[in-house]
Amino acid sequence: MDGSDIGFWGVPLAMLAGAIRVSTPFIFVSLGECLTERSGRINLGLEGTLMMGAMSAYGTALLSGSPWLGVLVAAGVGLMLGTLHAVLCQLPKVNDIATGIGLMLFGTGLAFFLGKPYIQPKAPNLGALDLGGWSSIPQVQQALQVNPLFIFGILLAFALAWALKNTRWGLIVRLAGESVDAALAIGASVARVRLLATAVGGAFAGIGGAFLSLYYPGSWNEGLSSGQGLMAVALVIFARWDPIRCLWASLLFGAAGAISPALQSVGVTQGYYLFSAAPYVLTLALMIATCSPARSVRGAPGELGAVK
């Protein structure tokens, strides 16, 4: 064995690599949505935030030469879009689902418009850490090239889970999401808590966008996200609003997304597009399996209107 032909073992290996590579935007967007929804608000606009994050990160990296500055700018743009959503939702008679869809279209449209000049040029990449140096198999080495943002995402999931359980802020966010009356009774400002949670959630999604344009696939174009922001929202329901389960679900989605290229690499070309649809089919299947008109989803924040 010369270390380059590993036959069908390439499929699970490529799925592992995919889980590591493709899952990062899912992790960030779902954690952002998780935080937002735990505070009692839905932000469907994170798809738009993801695109704006990707575009602004790419543009910043191109102009400044620093991809990490791009990540920072993407987070800032996400923060602003999240704040915009939160402020709009606080106006009387404004529905957060409708606002979210509006901001999703606004974000993607604005990203396409502002991003036109960045489609051709090549911006500097975020780079990766080689964690596969111990192996002599090139596929393994390649699979274990890990971007620092992936590691940051994992840490963020655990940090968020810890904070929601153990900090004053985390508990007040949950209280705002579970019962407005109870939050008011201890003098917490529900509006302020939701504003901050939605804004920070938007910042997370922005970072996810930066990963898309600056690492994988690593360029800016209009088909970059292909609905990942929306899938991440569905994923939060599947993960029952738990950051750690969001992490596992993101990895699962990442692996599903890698099925198609993995099969192609070992010579299975039939049904390429069918397998490309795996993440979408998975989303649909999970939603059907976990949602029912007769039962409410256990663990759903009490104030979250759309899942009642």
Partner 1 sequence: MTAAPSLELIGFTKRFGAMAALDDVTVKIKAGAFHALLGENGAGKSTLVKCAMGYYAADQGQILLNDHEVEIAHPRQAHELGLGMVYQHFTLVPNMTVLENFVLSRGDLPAVIDWAAERRALKSFFETTPFTVPIDTPVADLAAGQKQKGEILRQLYLKRNLLILDEPTSVLTPDEADEVLTTLKKLTNDGKITIVTITHKFREVNTYCDAVTVLRRGQLIGTRPTSELDNDMMAEMMVGRRETRTVVEREARAPGKAVLKLEGLSVADNVGQLAVEDLKLDIRAGEIVGIAGVSGNGQRELVEALAGQRDAEAGRMLVHGEVYTATRPEMVRHRIACLPEEPLRNACVADMSVAENIALRSFDQPPSSSTGVWLKRGPMRETARKLIEAYKVKTPGPDAAIRGLSGGNVQRAVLARELSSEGDLLIVANPCFGLDFAAVAEIRARIFQARNRGAAVLLVSEDLDEILQLSDRIVVMFDGKLALETDAASADVGAIGRAMAGH
Binding positions for partner 1, rule: CB under 8 A: 166-169, 171-172, 174-175, 178-179, 181-182, 184-187, 294-296, 298-302
Token digits of residue 158: 């655990």
Interatomic CA distance for residues 197 and 34, integer angstroms? 10
CB of 282 to partner 1, least distance (A): 22
* Residue 4 · residue 158 · CB < 8 Å: no
**Per-position DSSP letters for 41-89, written without gaps between them:** ---TTHHHHHHHHHHHHHHHHHHHS-HHHHHHHHHHHHHHHHHHHHHHH
CB of 238 to partner 1, least distance (A): 16
Q: Which is nearer to partner 1, 137 or 244 (CB)?
A: 244
Interatomic CA distance for residues 246 and 130, integer angstroms? 25
Q: Which is nearer to partner 1, 48 or 301 (CB)?
A: 301
CB of 186 to partner 1, least distance (A): 4
CB of 1 to partner 1, least distance (A): 50
Q: Which is nearer to partner 1, 170 or 218 (CB)?
A: 170
Cα–Cα distances in angstroms (integers) from residue 295 to residues 38, 56, 97, 247, 300, in the given order: 20, 42, 21, 25, 11
Q: Which is nearer to partner 1, 6 or 300 (CB)?
A: 300
Helix (H) or strand (E) holding 265: helix 259-265
Q: Which is nearer to partner 1, 93 or 168 (CB)?
A: 168
Neighbours of 134 (CB within 10 A): 9
CB of 188 to partner 1, least distance (A): 9
